[in-house]
Structure 1
Amino acid sequence: MAQSTYNARVLVLRKTKLGESDLILSLLAQDGSQIRAVAKGARKPTSQFSSRLELYSQADVLLAQGRSLDIVKEARLVAGNAALRESMELAACAAPIVELLDRITQPGLEVPKLFPLTQTALDVLASADSAHGPAICAAWLLKAFAFLGIRPSLDRCCVCGEPLACEVGSSVHRTIAFSASEGGVVCDACRVSDVAGLAPETLSWASALLGMRFSDIASIQVDQSCVFDALRLCQTWAQVHASIRLKSLNFLFSCGLF
């Protein structure tokens, strides 16, 4: 009985060795769902898949439906994003993006905005100066949280909705109360026990990154200290709201590349 086949444009999120020469692939489809598939013989140097299904690459694939895993029959490379594998700095910034996608997307669960968001972020990251990598990564994480329905409140009290006017450099507000469990920044009247103090500069950068285009982020001067504080906010947010601790973010914090 012939296997049912279908075409898909995908982004490669993860590769796992199977047997002597095969690979199990985690793929992000255009509709935002995850596809799990086997690429037979993909680890052989002569395989057509070895260069067309690299990590971070975008490809058009023909897949045959299987019981638990689909099977890659054909693949055509659309965008290789080789710079993300050749530069340690850029690879460290791309890894949290694909790790979160691999952990949070599911087969059959469509989140259509995730694919173009990730496609654009990886394209810009691949051609960006490595110093802008952490800011692009932080911007993608914040935007992804928004598309997934778990966007943090950065300018209004997440409890009462009161706007928080906090000027950068103000002596009145040296830190702003932030509660991941409650949903974001908290005013003094609604302050809860499990709050962390964030600098106004960090919240200002997080808000800016959330609203900026990736191409614009790649051309501005970044404050790495504030960007890394925003990344730590994202780490806590993913852990509290998605029960995911991103190992690749821990590496980014400790690698000393930036």
Structure 2
Amino acid sequence: MRQQRSYSTRAIILKRINLGEADRIVTLLTPTHGKIQVVAKGVRRPTSKLAGHLELLCHSQLQLALGRDLDIVTQAEGRESFLDLRMSQWHMTCGFYLAELVDRFLEEQTQHSGVYFLMLEMLRALDADAARSPQGESIDQANDPLHTLSQLLLRYFEIHLLSQVGYEPAFRACAHCAAELRPEPNGFSPSLGGALCPRCSRFWSRPLSVKALHVLRVLQRSEWQAVPHWRLSASLLLEIERVMHDLLRFHLERDLKTWSFLEMLRLERNLDSPALPSAQNL
């Protein structure tokens, strides 16, 4: 029986590193092979037919030949380029953040089909969000709820990525004593993996507000399409972000490069402007 010398896979492009004069090492997220690195030969030449299908965050169909160290891209066909996302610096940076998270958390060649489909769903949602705000940098953020939606999307992805890789945050029961958490001021400890009841939080945590815990619970238990389109205050969005970033920092033991860039863009675009009153406000 002849050994198979090539194979086909769908892939999301996570990362690229230049190699030599014209090649690149490309990091892929695939549904059946997990995260893998491959070589795209000659992709940096102006005449390369592969280049457009191996852009960061592209969703492509690839044909790969088995290589000695790294497999080699022989054919590529784009499936989704997320063109609206690429027109907005904010949404594009959100996409880069998702890619950095996946690259940091996943070991190579370990199947994580759930992460692949989660990443694909979030890229499609970011692309749709960008499409609803054409010329993304020129919208009136003070009157636009979509900036809240994109930030909630990042929190949703963080929560569900952690769950997929075995670090599901504890937002329903105390992470220390397992008592059911009530709608009252609780605590939070990244080293213990989530929220703490008032009795346990006296010793190991910082405060976690009722509203923040409610949002985190909804994000954790809901499908993305069912997440309410809230208009949240800047302070509540910041509290939720800090909770998730503390969890990520504990598990990764480092900060992520895109955090500071997202913060800079948010300040530049005035994404922390107070939201208008709404019946759906928390």
TM-score (norm 2): 0.81
User: Which residue of structure 2 lines up, in the alignment, with residue 170 of structure 1?
Assistant: none
Q: Relative to total residues, which structure has the larger helix share, 1 or 2?
A: 2
List aligned pairs for 1:1-258, cutoff 5 A.
4-31=5-32, 33-128=34-129, 129=132, 131=147, 132-167=149-184, 173=185, 176-191=186-201, 193-217=203-227, 220-223=229-232, 225=234, 226-255=236-265, 256=267, 257=269, 258=271
The separation in 1 between residues aligned to 2:175 and 2:44, in whole angstroms, is: 49
Q: Measure, in 1, the Cα distance between the counterparts of 2:199 and 2:109.
A: 43
TM-score (norm 1): 0.88
Distance 1:229 1:254, change over 3 A: farther
Look up the SS of the partner of 2:51 in the other structure.
coil
Q: 1:192 to 1:29 in 2, by over 3 A?
A: farther
What is the alpha-carbon distance in structure 1 between the residues aligned to residue 86 and residue 107 of structure 2?
25
8 Å Cα contact 1:9/1:59 also seen in 2:
yes
**In structure 2, what is the Cα distance between the partners aligned to 1:157 and 1:120?**
30
In 2 relative to 1, CA 69–224 (structure 1 residues): closer, same or farther, beyond 3 Å? Answer: farther
CA distance in 2, matches of 1:35, 1:98: 13
AA of the residue aligned to 1:232: R
Q: Is the 1:154–1:184 contact (alpha carbons within 8 Å) kept by the matching residues of 2?
A: yes
Q: CA deviation at 1:227?
A: 3.1
Percent identity (aligned): 26
* Deviates further, 144-153 or 204-213: 204-213
Contact 1:81 1:126 in 2 (8 A): yes
Q: By how many angstroms is 1:32 displaced?
A: 6.2
Task: Give the root-mean-square deviation of aligned CA atoms.
Answer: 2.1
Cα distance change, pair 113–232 in 1 and its aligned pair in 2 (3 A): same
The answer to whether the Cα contact below 8 Å between 1:152 and 1:183 also exists between their aligned partners in 2 is: yes
Post-superposition shift, 1:244? Answer: 4.2
Instruction: Go from structure 1 to structure 2 and tell me whether the alpha carbon gap of 1:44 and 1:224 turns closer, same or farther (over 3 Å shift).
Output: farther
Structure 1 unmatched runs, 5+: 168-172
Change (3 A) 1:61 1:208: same
**Amino acid of the residue matched to residue 37 of structure 1?**
V
C-alpha distance in structure 2 between counterparts of 1:148 and 1:32, whole Å: 15
